[in-house]
Structure 1
């Protein structure tokens, strides 16, 4: 599961400058037009996380752009001129609970140890990491900025639904550091947080097919 129409293009998009708007499979995303896909596809990693969680629950989920439309109605994204701000967690959590009946908790502060504790409780955690999550041997250029769904861990590392396995040290490097500026995607009511919020979801057993 990815925010882009073609999973095999992710490495080229993330690291090699490939324009995702050139993906011929864009209609598979559920986008109403090529222009809409081009505009939004780089901003919906959190929507992809939600779709993964919904598929885990019932093996069925709306398309990425159907979920995006719902999240936008709740104010989880804000457009200012040509700039898109989001994902904004507080309204997104309300959307998840109201529309999809899945409990969602926003965590104002969450360090790697807290993340592992939530995973031990059986929660799925949507968290912001560096795009270097796929290349854990490298020092990240920045911390945070890309949302992934963490679903478990192994001896202090973390497993995400990408799939990707992140050893303990890169997990710490990929997280936004304590005291860093609050992400622009965080709602104003959370603007005093020391670091970007995380969102945890219940980890429910898949329904019987």
Structure 2
């Protein structure tokens, strides 16, 4: 890799970020996504901070961004707030907008403002090419990127739209991005999942949230 100033970057950069799924039991994600298991029956639902299995089930399908934030907080601060605690703070910050049974979000700009204010990380919403995502990762940052959820199976049919799901870019090589996918399948596409850059485009909405360590540049 070569940065815009002509300086060489390492050909492979991988940040050792802990993995978190958007469900409390990562090993059950395939069963939940495929409809064989109701999320309310996740035996670890109580670890989410939800008051009931039903509350957990409703939120769990919408917690990809929260899962990405939990990973970043554990990586840089060594803390892992519950998913529901973070979801509640995101609602208060305007990063989630709930209207009855519908939820709009994650809204990138208020979310980035919340992360800066509440957690002291650098954060900015941005439009980025895949090469720019790789460059941010090579420079020591993590990037929450908006992709279609079917990226968990990148060799499957091409998605009908881009975006709708957030994953965390944690590594980059000359030809691929490495992602932590909160709804990835165990043993296949959860932690450090390799997505070739040539395959990334059909899933990627071209935008994301760049997260950096405390004291870094915005």
- Report TM bin, short chain: 0.7 to 0.9
CA contact (8 A) 1:124 1:203 kept: no
Q: Which residue is equivalent to 1:19?
A: 38
Q: Which residue is equivalent to 2:172?
A: 153
CA contact (8 A) 2:90 2:96 kept: yes
CA contact (8 A) 2:162 2:202 kept: yes
1:147-171, Cα deviation, whole Å (9 max, x unpaired):
0110111223111123111112221
Q: Could you tell me which of 132, 135, 139 is aligned with 1:114?
A: 132
Give runs of aligned pairs for residues 181-196 of structure 1, distance below 5 A: none
CA contact (8 A) 1:14 1:131 kept: no
Shift of 1:16: 4.4
Distance 1:175 1:85 in 2: 19
Distance 2:106 2:177 in 1: 22
Q: Which residue is equivalent to 1:133?
A: 151
Q: Which residue is equivalent to 2:200?
A: 171
Secondary structure of 2:201's counterpart equals helix
Give the TM-score of the pair, scaled to structure 1: 0.81
User: In terms of mean alpha carbon deviation, does 95-104 or 57-66 score higher?
Assistant: 57-66
Shift of 1:203: 5.0
CA contact (8 A) 1:131 1:140 kept: no
Distance 1:7 1:63 in 2: 15
Number of matched pairs = 184
Distance 2:70 2:209 in 1: 14
Q: Please, which runs of 5 or more residues in structure 1 have no aligned partner?
A: 177-194, 205-209
Secondary structure of 1:144's counterpart equals coil
Give the TM-score of the pair, scaled to structure 2: 0.78
Q: Structure 1 203/15 Cα, relative in aligned 2: closer, same or farther at 3 Å?
A: farther
Q: Please, which runs of 5 or more residues in structure 2 have no aligned partner?
A: 1-19, 181-189
Aligned-residue Cα RMSD (Å) equals 1.7
Task: Decide which structure has greater strand share.
Answer: 2
Q: Could you tell me which of 61, 74, 84 is aligned with 2:93?
A: 74
1:72-112, Cα deviation, whole Å (9 max, x unpaired):
111111112321111111111111111111110110x2221
Shift of 1:41: 0.9
Higher relative contact order (CA 8 A, sep 6+): 2
